[in-house]
Amino acid sequence: MSNSSIKILLIVFIISFGCDKDDFTDPNDPKFGSLEPAIQLNFDNIEQRINHFGASGGFQDQWVGEWTSTAREDIAKLLFSSETDAQGNPEGIGLSLWRTFIGDGSADQSDSGFRANSWFRETECYLDANGNYDWTKQAGEQWFLQKAKEYGVPQFTGWAISPPYFMTKNGYTFRTIGNGQFNCPESNYEAYSTFLADVIKNYESKGYNFSTVCAFNETQYEWTANIGDASQSGTRATNKEVADVSRIMDQVFTDKGINAKIMIPEAAQLSYLYSGNQSTTNQINSFWDTASSNYIGDLPNLSKHVAGHSYFSNTTTTNSLNQRTSLKTALLNAGQGLDYWQTEYSLLGTAYQQGKSLSELTEIDYALWMSRIIHTDLVFGNATGWSFWTALNQSTFGDHPFRFNLILYQPNSNSPSHTDGTFYEVKNLWALGNYSRFVRPGMVRFEVVDPIYNETTSVENFMISGYKNDSSKEIVLVCINNTESARTISFQDYGTEFEVTGNSFETYTTSSTMNLEKGTTAADEIVIPAKSIVTLKGNLN
């Protein structure tokens, strides 16, 4: 056979058999890695320093805290423990703040004016109408405070929503028609301030690190009900009334040597902090603009933490991001070192459904939505603290078990006389743990850029945020995959500009089948499963 014949045969062979078999030049071949652009970890672009992740005992820790079985111990472990089991899985979510309620005495009244089915929101008061303190009251709340301290929770905050009933205008802990705005006469402003100072002083004497106390909660709402039809305590208050009480309280705190700072306000919605022309809104300008008649920014006992609630702030993704960036801008413009604490969020409203019917939602969908709100508050609002409302809830109506609690509890009787109960750890608990267990106080958030998505589409699909501990070189990345597909991610300049010890990350996954379950992954083989929240933890070399 001639040389020319051999060449022709080789060409025919390659065309017939080689081109569709040989994928060495296929750009999609795994040998060449993913075509997806790498995520940028900009360690030097620092955004905010994290203060805490927490939860509120609400009105309901007072009941569970007095249970007679070991169930309350198991619940406390889930909320506060930073220990792991034999497989390295977290035993709890390691909250770094516990928010406790300062009772107003509705439970001490012969007739609180509450509806019968709202018994679980009636609270005792340490002080009685004759001026005597009984520090054995609120035993359930005190039990949870003690357990939190034993587990090493570093910080506490107290909050009230009404003065004690015997200090109010109408003798109740909610407003009734015709009793003005703040349900407390001016003559009792000092008494209310002294009461809160005495409660915090008592806690501080027992070794609790209370960083803040708030005397006003969601003052934009009316909190008005007919006697016998109230569902909880509460009072409207104008910004002027808040400022007037805060000035008196500041002096009382100085006189009594209180370490905790006065935190105002706790706005019912984020927009009330930076906008509005009502007497209860636009609160950053009202309290921290030196030209305002309500300016109190110079009070020595006033906290720099400005608190708001993320309820009803997520109707659309664009609206959600705009509210948080507007809040961040307003705090920066105030120019007094203010930061944002998100102190209450649960899945109120219908935005969490994302246009789906409830029959389409599974438990992980609720946890993914909650994680999305945490992400937007941290990344777009620069929140330094984030707390869930409420750690405990007993409602099993509809999809309530997945919306309003970290732990669902069921009392052994539906009344204040119950002595015990059972509980279920809701997926929200572990999703919050993806943050609280690993993003610890003092860590800073650094910029993370995902080139696949813009700001809006990232929140709707795949979110990632980064945190680092400057002293230990530990880094934490929280990834939220809200899509139906797993995603493989890589990091720009990995192996040249930075590396993690052992070339691997610890992974902690919350999904429909996992509750913060531990694993490990090579730094160049990271896969975030569909419908999951994954925390990556490593140490920079």
Q: What is the C-alpha to C-alpha distance for residues 324 and 328, in angstroms, rounded to an integer?
A: 6
In a domain, 22, yes or no: no
Which of the listed residues 421, 441, 461 is the one where a domain comes to its end? 441
pLDDT at residue 531 greater than cutoff 70: yes
At residue 33, the pLDDT reads 44
- Are 57 and 40 part of one and the same domain? no
Per-state percent for the chain, helix, strand, coil, to nearest 5:
30, 25, 45
- Which amino acid, 202? N
What CATH number corresponds to the domain at position 324? 3.20.20.80
pLDDT at residue 184 greater than cutoff 60: yes
- Are 41 and 178 part of one and the same domain? no
What CATH number corresponds to the domain at position 456? 2.60.40.1180
Which of the listed residues 425, 441, 457 is the one where a domain comes to its end? 441
Q: What is the C-alpha to C-alpha distance for residues 533 and 451, in angstroms, rounded to an integer?
A: 20
SS3 214: strand
Q: How many CB atoms lie within 10 A of CB 288?
A: 23
- Are 377 and 479 part of one and the same domain? no
At residue 35, the pLDDT reads 63
pLDDT at residue 460 greater than cutoff 60: yes
At residue 16, the pLDDT reads 43
Average pLDDT over residues 183-192: 98
- Are 467 and 325 part of one and the same domain? no
- Are 396 and 472 part of one and the same domain? no
In a domain, 20, yes or no: no
- Are 455 and 488 part of one and the same domain? yes
In a domain, 4, yes or no: no
- Which amino acid, 51? N
At residue 20, the pLDDT reads 42
Question: Using CB atoms within 10 A of its CB, is residue 209 exposed (0-12), middle (13-18) or buried (19+)?
Answer: middle
Place of tokens 């030209």: 291
Q: What is the C-alpha to C-alpha distance for residues 26 and 18, in angstroms, rounded to an integer?
A: 13
pLDDT at residue 372 greater than cutoff 80: yes
Q: What is the C-alpha to C-alpha distance for residues 349 and 332, in angstroms, rounded to an integer?
A: 30
- Are 395 and 327 part of one and the same domain? yes
What is the crossing angle of helices 317-334 and 363-379, to 10°? 30
pLDDT at residue 414 greater than cutoff 90: yes
- Are 478 and 528 part of one and the same domain? yes
Range of the domain at 38: 34-46+446-539
Q: How far apart are the first and last CA of the chain?
A: 63
In a domain, 390, yes or no: yes
pLDDT at residue 62 greater than cutoff 50: yes
**Alpha carbon separation from 310 to 53, 341, 345, 387 (Å, rounded):** 15, 10, 5, 10
In a domain, 404, yes or no: yes
Output b/e per residue, 480-518; b: 16+ Cβ within 10 A. bbbeeeebebebeebeeeebbeeebbbbbbbbeebbbbb
- What does pTM read for this prediction? 0.93
Sign of CA dihedral 287, 291, 296, 300: positive
pLDDT at residue 5 greater than cutoff 50: no
In a domain, 24, yes or no: no
In a domain, 336, yes or no: yes
- Are 501 and 375 part of one and the same domain? no
pLDDT at residue 39 greater than cutoff 80: yes
Tokens of 200: 């915090």
Average pLDDT over residues 4-23: 42
Which of the listed residues 415, 441, 467 is the one where a domain comes to its end? 441
The average confidence (pLDDT) of the chain is 94
At residue 467, the pLDDT reads 98
Contact residues for 130 (Cβ-Cβ < 8 A; gap 6+): none
Helix (H) or strand (E) holding 142: helix 139-150
Task: Assign 25 a pLDDT band (cuts: 50, 70, 90).
Answer: very low
For residues 197 and 189, the answer to whether their CB atoms sit within 8 Å is no
- Are 433 and 467 part of one and the same domain? no
Task: Report the percentage of the chain scoring pLDDT > 70.
Answer: 94
Average pLDDT over residues 516-533: 98
- Look at 457 and 14; give whichever has higher pLDDT: 457
Task: Assign 27 a pLDDT band (cuts: 50, 70, 90).
Answer: very low
Average pLDDT over residues 431-437: 99
Please tell me the total count of domains within the chain.
2
- Are 396 and 516 part of one and the same domain? no
In a domain, 28, yes or no: no
pLDDT at residue 243 greater than cutoff 50: yes
Task: Report the percentage of the chain scoring pLDDT > 90.
Answer: 93
Tell me the three-class secondary structure of 393-450, residue by residue: ECCCCCCHHHCCCCEEEEECCCCCCCCCEEEEECHHHHHHHHHHCCCCCCCEEEEEEC
pLDDT at residue 10 greater than cutoff 90: no
Q: What is the C-alpha to C-alpha distance for residues 65 and 80, in angstroms, rounded to an integer?
A: 14
- Are 332 and 477 part of one and the same domain? no
Task: Assign 179 a pLDDT band (cuts: 50, 70, 90).
Answer: confident
Residues 180-189: contacts with CB under 8 Å, at least 24 apart: 181/235, 181/236, 181/237, 181/238, 181/241, 181/279, 182/219, 182/235, 182/236, 182/237, 182/238, 182/241, 182/245, 183/223, 183/235, 183/236, 184/235, 184/245, 186/244, 188/163, 189/244, 189/245, 189/248
pLDDT at residue 26 greater than cutoff 70: no
